[in-house]
């Protein structure tokens, strides 16, 4: 009896887990392929890594690397791919581990599938923009989650590689939503449901700029005079914080605990891409501190508003919340994207190995 094709998934940072988990789980349920999970080590502290394997339908990684740089990840992944000889490598999103997985697979002439393809900010100063564009052009199967992503790929002459499957990260949200809401995480922080602002900030152009970060904290301090502000602090951001604040600062939170806070917030302030999507589905007002977004659908259809890198605009939050965007959920953000992604992957793998 012939062995089943081997599909290898590469993860390394928090967003990867939520995007890969539904696809891995559905392929496992179908039972037509072997699977291996490789963790690069990009996020290596337990809160940012280990807890997700307890909360999501993912096994412990079959291979755990300790690659803290893209170069290290590329070298190690190329070695591991040489040992495993996979038929397909699946990467997700736009972090450094995504790029390393795609390049290493390409060097080994292994077919690549990219989850969440086609996102474009048009901002080449963002490492994520370079990562996602290069990964798309190296990949054979481009799994997209929105019409604008498809249009971006068509404009880059990648039309025949596209499979519009929807947003796999929303599968993870829907699968965990009831458990997250039952936690009522706001209680343990002394908050009231619907009566606080949740903040996440981690991008270098904001948190590595001491002046800009200080202005942002000062503006949020003003908001906190009338509406409590809770801020789970990314390790990168924590290193750059200085001085006292009215904000409730916490360590990074496990997925369900964070989702519980997100789902019951009056509003979310963020520079994260994925949180723009989650708040759209949860119908929570989102205010994004960035000049641009690769997820324009969250503005066009969803609850997101782009504030630019203008922290003083945060002081407008009480006024903006008086007239919130209610939005609608984009097509195929329905909790079943993992099923469609698994179908597309099997069509590729068995077409290629037939």
Residues 225 and 256 in one domain: yes
Phi, psi of 121 (to 5 degrees): -100, -20
Model pLDDT, residue 222: 96
| Same domain membership, residue 308 and residue 348 | no
pLDDT of residue 14: 83
Residues 154 and 21 placed together within one structural domain of the fold: yes
Per the residue annotation, which of 39, 137, 202, 234 is the catalytic one? 202
Q: Which domain holds residue 276?
A: 174-321
Question: What is d(CA 164, CA 144) in angstroms, rounded to the nearest whole number?
Answer: 5
Query: What local confidence, expressed as pLDDT, does residue 144 receive?
Result: 98
CA–CA distance, 220 with 326 (Å, rounded to integer): 23
pLDDT of residue 103: 98
Low-confidence ranges of the chain (pLDDT < 70): 1-2, 43-53, 352-354
Query: Do residue 155 and residue 11 come from a single domain?
Result: yes
Note whether 264 and 186 are within 8 A (CB).
yes
Same domain, 125 and 78: yes
Q: Would 328 be classed as within a structural domain?
A: no
In this structure, the answer to whether residues 78 and 43 fall within a common structural domain is yes
Whether residue 212 sits in one domain with residue 110: no
- Catalytic, 9? Answer no
Answer yes or no: is 326 within a domain: no
The phi-psi region of residue 349 (left if phi > 0; otherwise alpha if psi is between -120 and 50; otherwise beta) is alpha
> Is 252 within the bounds of a domain?
yes
Same domain for 287 and 229, yes or no, is yes
Same structural domain, 341 and 261: no
Do 102 and 191 belong to one domain?
Answer: no
Residues 265 and 345 in one domain: no
Q: Do 95 and 189 sit in the same domain of this protein? A: no
The CATH number of the domain where 101 resides is what? 3.40.50.2000
Give the per-residue pLDDT at 15: 87
């Amino acid at each position: 009896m012939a062995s089943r094709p081997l599909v290898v998934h590469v993860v390394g940072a928090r967003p990867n887990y939520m995007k890969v988990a539904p696809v891995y789980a559905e392929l496992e349920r179908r039972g037509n392929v072997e699977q291996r999970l490789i963790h690069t080590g990009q996020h290596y502290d337990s809160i940012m890594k280990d807890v997700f394997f307890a909360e999501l339908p993912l096994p412990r990684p079959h291979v755990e690397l300790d690659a803290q740089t893209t170069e290290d990840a590329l070298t190690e992944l190329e070695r591991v791919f040489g040992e495993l000889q996979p038929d397909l490598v699946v990467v997700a999103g736009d972090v450094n581990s995504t790029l390393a997985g795609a390049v290493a697979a390409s060097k080994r002439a292994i077919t690549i599938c990219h989850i969440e393809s086609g996102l474009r900010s048009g901002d080449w100063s963002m490492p994520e923009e370079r990562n996602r564009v290069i990964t798309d052009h190296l990949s054979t199967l481009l799994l997209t989650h929105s019409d604008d992503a498809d249009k971006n790929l068509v404009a880059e002459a990648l039309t025949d590689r596209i499979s519009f499957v929807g947003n796999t990260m929303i599968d993870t949200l829907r699968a965990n939503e009831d458990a997250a809401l039952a936690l009522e995480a706001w209680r343990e922080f002394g908050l009231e449901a619907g009566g606080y602002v949740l903040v996440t900030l981690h991008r270098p152009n904001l948190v590595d700029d001491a002046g800009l970060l200080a202005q942002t904290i000062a503006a949020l301090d003003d908001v906190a005079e009338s509406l409590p502000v809770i801020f789970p602090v990314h390790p990168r951001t924590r290193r750059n914080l200085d001085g006292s604040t009215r904000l409730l600062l916490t360590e990074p939170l496990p997925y369900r605990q964070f989702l519980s806070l997100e789902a019951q917030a009056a509003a979310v302030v963020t520079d994260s891409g994925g949180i723009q999507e989650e708040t759209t589905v949860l119908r929570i007002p989102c205010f994004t501190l960035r000049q641009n977004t690769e997820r324009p659908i969250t503005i066009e259809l969803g609850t997101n508003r782009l504030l630019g890198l203008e922290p003083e605009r945060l002081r407008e939050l009480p006024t903006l919340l008086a007239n919130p965007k209610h939005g609608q959920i984009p097509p195929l953000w329905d909790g079943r994207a993992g099923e469609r992604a698994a179908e597309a992957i099997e069509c590729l793998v068995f077409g290629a190995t037939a």
